[in-house]
Amino acid sequence: MPKCAGDCDRDEHCAGGLRCFQRDGVTTVPGCTGTGIPNFDYCYDPADAPEPPTQPPGRGPNCLCVFDIDRTLTGKQGTASNECPADKEIPGIWDTAYRGGWLTISQAGQNLQNTFCGKCYMGIVSHGVASGPNSRERTYLLENVLVGEPFQALLRSNAQAAEWGFRTVRSPLVLGWPDKEKQDAVAGIVAWYEQQGIRVRDQDVYFFGDRTENIPPFSSTAFNAREISCGSRDMSIGNGMVGLCGAATDEIVDTKGVVVCADPKPLPTPTPPPSQEDCLCIFDIDRTLTGKQGDVKNCPDNRIENTIWDTAYGGGWLTLSDAAQKLSETFCNFCYLGLISAGDAGGRNSPQRPYLLDKVLISEKFSKLRAANGEASAWSDYPRVDSPLVLKWPNLQKQNAAEDIVAWYAQQGVTIPPSKVHFYGDRTENIGPFADKGYNAREISCGSRDYSLYSNGMVGYCGAKASEIVDTPGVAGC
């Protein structure tokens, strides 16, 4: 990459003599102007700053996720095999809440490290007592549920962080706190973190709880709060005021504001009518149109095709992302389509390739083009681009393949202006370089990242959501 280009991850991603400037937020890059994309890393000339500051990769301002326990991090005991199949029962650990039973961890409680909270500090504010002093439940929650990277590091360095407080805030773990007053305990936790030298802005504090009555009081603060377990309520308690299965993974989001389950859901954005200018939607394949193979527990909107093998990332049955099943319901239905993947879509003559063409890449204009022009259904391998379906293209260079796809369409008599070219991909490193071409690019799978690959969440997990396929101009990372 040239000077002031991003998003780089290592010095070798930059041109000779340049280095990769790792940064938080919009820290100024030496020798470059403007702010760039928040949290993107850019190539710079060391002569402009002999000793550049280095920040931990992927970290911006500190954030804090605070959770209720009962029916939030846990579900109703004994329901994991029936009403709440995504929950996990822990035999041998008794949970005394709501009449008691074997501890049952909610879907979100099993996967906090795969949400944005995995990069945040954590806390607990519960009306209950987590089964009492020295309970095995408390130990399990600390060791197996609150597993965010910064919080686990804090537990190792600060013994006070693992202490449980009862009706007092002397650590980030607060029990016995009255309902309707949890916002006060959260404020106390924020103050506790500041005493440890960790400052978290109010707007970066998120509370998640299942009891309806605990959410609206947060409106008197600058904190964010969200009611969870919206899809499963325990009607035997307070007419559904309490959750049943606990938090779902996709409810742990960093959306700003105070939100309860009964709030009107935003109406879907109407599909825009075709514009006079042609548009082009280009997609990555692996972890964009597909998700982690075989995992529909953590990705309940995904769908497994158990007759088609997908060789990507270790292999497994082809698993379609939410967006892959609904492209025709997005604005891309009125655009031409294309693919750019570093992978090979299962290899030459694989059943995955015709499946993607016939079942996924569906739009009015692209389907008509395929019917009239056989080249539109052909596959191209790096470095040639003889069709809109491009495979084996190196990461960090996909913007060049997009440019060649636009040129291919021009050869077919279809002129697409740069402002109408949209790329969607899950790998963080591939998004920033599109700015140099004047194209639009958007990182997707923002709510689910795979930390088992490269240990930094650079790759998506569930793949693209249909709601992420938007025609918003510009270049945007998660």
Give the bridge partners for 89, in sequence order.
104
> What gap in Å lies between CA 97 and CA 77, rounded to an integer?
9
Q: In the 3-class helix/strand/coil scheme, how is 317-360 assigned residue by residue?
A: EEEECCHHHCHHHCHHHHCEEEEECCCCCCCCCCCHHHHHHHHH
Distance CA 244, CA 70 (A): 9
Q: What CATH architecture does domain 280-476 belong to? A: 3-Layer(aba) Sandwich (3.40)
pLDDT score for 46: 78
pLDDT of residue 54: 32
For the 64-259 domain, the top CATH level (class) is alpha beta
How many alpha carbons fall within 13 Å on the CB side of residue 21? 32
> Structural domain boundaries of the chain?
1-59, 64-259, 280-476
Task: Kindly list the averaged pLDDT for each block of 10 residues, start to end, along the chain of length 478.
Answer: 81 82 65 74 73 39 96 96 93 95 98 96 98 96 95 94 95 97 97 93 97 94 96 87 96 95 60 69 98 96 96 96 97 97 95 97 96 96 97 97 98 96 96 94 96 86 97 93
β-strand 421-425 against 280-283: which pairing, if any? parallel
Pairing between β-strand 205-209 and β-strand 64-67 as defined by DSSP bridges: parallel
**Is 280-476 in the same CATH topology as 64-259?**
yes
Say which residues have a Cβ less than 8 Å from residue 36's Cβ, sequence separation at least 6.
6, 26, 29, 42, 432
What's the pLDDT at 53? Answer: 29
Which residue shows structure tokens 């559904």?
240
How far apart are alpha carbons 240 and 247 in whole angstroms?
15
pTM over 0.85: no
Q: 173-175 and 205-209: which strand pairing? A: unpaired
- Residue 406: in which H helix or E strand, if any? helix 398-411
Q: How far apart are CA 161 and CA 230, in angstroms?
A: 30
Q: How far apart are CA 252 and CA 106, in angstroms?
A: 12
What would the two tokens of residue 453 be? 């690959």
